[in-house]
């Protein structure tokens, strides 16, 4: 028995394959319990837009069972699917799971969404009664490792998207955004995304200005904003602290002379202009006006690239944390292999102790105090005799030597596997 990972992600498969294999919550609850058996003892499934993965505790043959099951469920050829799959076992599997939860295997390094997706997948697998002690421990440790990575490194800090970089710059200029007004000029995708980030950051008020007023109304409704016609562009500039432009104009919609007039009316109150349009909406000379901070898409890309490099440096620290935590988990896993042996050894010793006590005490007339003293003494003797044996077993389990020592211990203490007893009784 061991921990296995079987799956595919954005690095190994195209989006059309990931779409075909996307697992729905109702499928996990309805169909996946049928997978559990001798080869797949415990299971958790993670399905996002960038990956479909299965983590299981069982035998190596369980990989083929999962692949066959998913192919039948999704109507995909196993030959086609196997071209995109990766399989990990043991410590390699644990490292992979911890890396996924820590966003080290994500398309965007350090992105925070995976933590919530991972947690939801764990809860759903538990709800479907797919998990057990080993997968529960694996998933719990993966989440605690992810938390450790985020608190001890800067992997999740600094924007690595143009839209979020715009918000980060705005916060540097204005500090708290809850007193700021933002105007969205045009309805480009990146500008809209930046506006959504600003809303999440607590922007006080959002204006939507568009040449097609109906589109301004539609987008304003989505964003909880105020629609304005393009004729009100100057009014938006007067009121706003932050302006994001993303129009399809082939010429500048804002030049230096116009901005100077606006700034006089604003009494030179600072304004942050983010031009994400290509071709540009705002004349670069506007940046020469006092208290005007102008950034275009190239400026933001430069910020993003610098932040990406920072995250990559932090990822080195994160990888070290993941490796360390994975080794701890694998050590724990190895000790679990000898738990049945330790339990059987203790039960054997306790049975002998109780039998001998019964024979001896039946011949004596002792007080309750004397009985308790003999009981305590016999337990102490057994524990002291077992201690070096159990320490030896645990020590060798960590080094992976369980298969060698288990038969020796069983023979020395006349222990039998419960599974063997079960098989023998069934044959009778």
The catalytic residues are: 49
Do residues 414 and 348 touch, judged by C-beta distance below 8 A?
yes
CB neighbour list of residue 123: distance below 8 Å, 6 or more residues apart? none
The alpha carbon of residue 120 and the mean position of all alpha carbons in its chain are separated, in whole angstroms, by 9
Q: Which residue reads 């080195």 in tokens?
A: 316
Chain length of the chain: 428
The alpha carbon of residue 61 and the mean position of all alpha carbons in its chain are separated, in whole angstroms, by 27
Do residues 102 and 145 touch, judged by C-beta distance below 8 A?
yes
CA distance linking residue 73 with residue 191, whole number of Å: 40
One-character DSSP codes across 320-371: HHHHHHHHHHHHHHHHHHTHHHHHHHHHHHHHHHHHHHHHHHTT----HHHH
Look up residue 259 and give its two tokens.
């901005």
Look up residue 136 and give its two tokens.
């529960």
Candidates 392, 401, 415; CA nearest to 337 is 401
Question: Could you tell me which residues are beta bridge partners of residue 40?
Answer: 58
Look up residue 275 and give its two tokens.
């031009």
Pairing of strands 205-210, 181-185: parallel
CA distance linking residue 277 with residue 296, whole number of Å: 8
Candidates 155, 149, 67; CA nearest to 108 is 155
Candidates 309, 299, 250; CA nearest to 273 is 299
Candidates 403, 289, 392, 399; CA nearest to 345 is 392
Pairing of strands 181-185, 51-58: unpaired
Do residues 55 and 49 touch, judged by C-beta distance below 8 A?
no
């Amino acid at each position: 028995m061991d921990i296995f990972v079987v799956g595919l992600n954005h690095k190994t498969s195209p989006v059309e394959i990931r779409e075909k294999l996307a697992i729905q919550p109702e499928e996990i609850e309805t169909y996946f319990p049928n997978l559990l058996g001798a080869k797949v003892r415990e299971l958790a499934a993670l399905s996002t837009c960038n990956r479909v993965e299965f983590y299981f505790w069982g035998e190596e043959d369980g990989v083929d069972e999962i692949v066959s099951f998913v192919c039948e469920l999704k109507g995909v050829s196993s030959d086609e699917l196997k071209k995109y799959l990766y399989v990990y076992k043991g410590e390699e599997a644990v490292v992979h799971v911890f890396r996924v939860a820590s966003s080290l295997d994500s398309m965007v390094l350090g992105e925070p969404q995976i933590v919530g997706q991972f947690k939801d997948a764990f809860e759903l697998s538990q709800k479907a009664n797919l998990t057990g002690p080993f997968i529960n421990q694996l998933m719990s440790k993966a989440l605690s490792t992810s938390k450790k990575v985020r608190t001890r490194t800067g992997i999740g800090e600094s924007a690595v998207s143009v839209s979020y970089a715009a918000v980060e710059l705005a916060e540097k200029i204005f500090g708290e955004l809850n007193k700021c007004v933002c105007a969205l000029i045009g309805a480009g995708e990146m500008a809209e995304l930046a506006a959504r980030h600003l809303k999440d950051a607590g922007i006080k008020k959002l204006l939507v200005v568009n040449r097609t007023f109906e589109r301004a109304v539609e987008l304003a409704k989505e964003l909880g904003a105020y629609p304005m016609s393009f004729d009100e562009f100057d009014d938006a500039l007067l009121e706003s602290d932050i302006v994001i432009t993303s129009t399809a104009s082939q010429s500048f919609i804002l030049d230096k002379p116009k901005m100077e007039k606006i700034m006089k009316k604003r009494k030179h109150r600072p304004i942050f202009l983010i031009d994400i349009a290509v071709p540009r909406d705002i004349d670069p000379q506007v940046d020469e006006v006092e208290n005007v901070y102008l950034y275009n898409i190239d400026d933001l890309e430069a910020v993003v690239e610098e932040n990406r490099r920072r995250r990559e440096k932090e990822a080195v620290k994160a990888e070290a944390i993941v490796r360390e935590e994975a080794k701890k988990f694998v050590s724990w896993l190895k000790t679990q292999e000898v738990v049945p042996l330790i339990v059987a050894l203790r039960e054997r010793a306790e049975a002998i102790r109780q039998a001998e006590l019964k024979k001896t005490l039946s011949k004596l007339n002792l007080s309750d105090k004397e009985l308790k003293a003999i009981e305590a003494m016999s337990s102490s003797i057994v524990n002291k005799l077992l201690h070096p044996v159990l320490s030896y077993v645990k020590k060798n389990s960590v080094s992976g030597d369980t298969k060698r020592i288990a038969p020796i211990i069983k023979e020395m203490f006349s222990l039998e596997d419960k599974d063997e007893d079960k098989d023998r009784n069934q044959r009778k």
